[in-house]
């Protein structure tokens, strides 16, 4: 895969003299730059022009965040959530997965980086739960791929002193890329867990446009392990398709053959689920995709989900493969119900706090 270079850069006036802005512009020589008085007004104007996601993914906005950088994972109601915290240094992604929820979730068509990162550090310093140690897991992969813009931002290097100063606090960097070279140079001290979203080879090729190949991701995981990082893997979303059983088993076998179990912090599993409006958006943008043609029902959270028997079949098989091929690796569900847990693992965390504790315990191993 190739590194992202924008075709056009917008710079909000308030952000034009900030260090990140100057760095990104230095690393994008020859790219047209346009200074705008207000990011909010720019986004509103582009929406009126019906700036679509495809065009927006080729353009970058550098601006100042006016909201919180750290917040609880939005999760979903009435399913088990793990107490994850989300750090948002930007939003949007140059990759283009047909199932990406950001297509329906974000109203900003531009890939956006928040240049006021010093404000982010000051916010983190002020959070009591970070001082007390009750928050242990933070990730940046909710509204963007954690590493797709690292060659422009050096975010991992910038944030490392804060995380290294707080033993027990971990930042998870989640990606579908192999942009790991900046990570290999860091004296990370165990402060980062590097995670990859995985899927079958067929889904990667057909639905994860612009992302690294499956074998490339696993090879990249081996490289960061050699530098002392622990890794995570996220099979989310699992997609029910022809050959799914052979495909997902093959991925677990690849992990077993290449990744030491003791280097895996956790593995999450979740089935395809989406807001109802995503289907129409995705089918217009990806007319060849077939992942929305199955039968779906509205779940307790209003999101569309596979029929329960399909989810249970996939989950039980996946849990069995991990138990057989990578025993001892901690596997958990993202946004699933009691029946899924009991059918696959024989137990169900008694509360969201109990699931949080199980995941926090993995950081002590």
**Structure tokens of 102?**
């950001």
Query: At 305, is the pLDDT very low, low, confident or very high (cuts 50, 70, 90)?
Result: very high
User: Which residue in the block uniquely carries the two structure tokens 């807001």?
Assistant: 275
Residue 55 has pLDDT above 80, yes or no: no
pTM: 0.96
pLDDT value of position 312: 97
Query: At 59, is the pLDDT very low, low, confident or very high (cuts 50, 70, 90)?
Result: very high
Better pLDDT: 81 or 176: 176
Tell me the domains of the chain and their CATH numbers: 66-362 (3.80.30.30)
**Structure tokens of 350?**
């008694």
pLDDT value of position 335: 87
* pLDDT tens-place string over residues 150-186: 999 999 999 999 999 999 999 999 999 999 999 999 9
Query: At 84, is the pLDDT very low, low, confident or very high (cuts 50, 70, 90)?
Result: very high
d(CA 171, CA 238): 24
Lowest mean pLDDT among 44-53, 307-316, 343-352: 44-53
d(CA 267, CA 73): 17
State the DSSP string of 293-305: SS-EEE-TTS-EE
**Is 180:149 a contact under the CB 8 Å cutoff?**
no
Mean pLDDT of the chain: 94
* pLDDT tens-place string over residues 229-273: 999 999 999 999 999 999 999 999 999 999 999 999 999 999 999
């Amino acid at each position: 895969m190739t590194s992202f270079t924008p075709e056009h850069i917008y710079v909000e006036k308030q952000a034009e003299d900030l260090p990140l802005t100057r760095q990104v512009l230095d690393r994008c020589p020859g790219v047209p730059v346009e200074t705008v008085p207000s990011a909010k007004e720019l986004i509103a104007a582009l929406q009126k022009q019906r700036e679509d996601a495809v065009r927006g993914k080729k353009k970058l906005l550098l601006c100042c965040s006016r909201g919180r950088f750290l917040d609880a994972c939005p999760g979903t109601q009435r399913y088990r959530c793990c107490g994850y915290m989300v750090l948002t240094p930007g939003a949007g992604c140059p990759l283009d997965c047909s199932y990406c929820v950001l297509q329906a979730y974000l109203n900003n068509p531009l890939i956006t980086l928040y240049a006021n990162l010093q404000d982010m550090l000051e916010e983190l310093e002020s959070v009591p739960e970070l001082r007390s140690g009750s928050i242990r897991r933070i990730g940046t992969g909710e509204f963007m791929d954690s590493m797709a813009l690292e060659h422009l931002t050096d975010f991992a290097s910038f944030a490392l002193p804060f995380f290294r100063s707080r033993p027990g606090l971990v930042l998870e960097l989640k990606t579908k890329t192999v942009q790991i070279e900046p990570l290999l140079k860091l004296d990370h001290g165990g402060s980062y867990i590097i995670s990859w979203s995985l899927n079958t080879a067929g889904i990667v090729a057909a639905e994860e446009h612009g992302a690294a190949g499956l074998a490339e991701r696993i090879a990249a995981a081996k490289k960061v392990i050699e530098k002392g990082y622990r890794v995570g893997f996220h099979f989310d979303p699992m997609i029910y398709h022809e050959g799914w059983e052979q495909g997902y088993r093959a991925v677990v076998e690849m992990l077993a053959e290449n990744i030491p179990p003791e280097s895996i912090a956790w593995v999450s599993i979740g089935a395809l689920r989406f807001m109802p409006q995503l289907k129409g958006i995705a089918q217009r943008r990806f007319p060849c995709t077939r992942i929305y043609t199955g039968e779906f029902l509205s779940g307790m959270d209003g999101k569309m989900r596979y029929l329960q028997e399909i989810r249970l079949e996939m989950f039980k098989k996946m849990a069995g493969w991990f138990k057989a091929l990578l025993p001892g690796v901690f596997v958990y569900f993202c946004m699933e119900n009691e029946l899924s847990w009991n059918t696959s693992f024989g137990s169900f965390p008694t509360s969201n706090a109990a699931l949080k504790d199980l995941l926090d315990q993995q950081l002590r191993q």
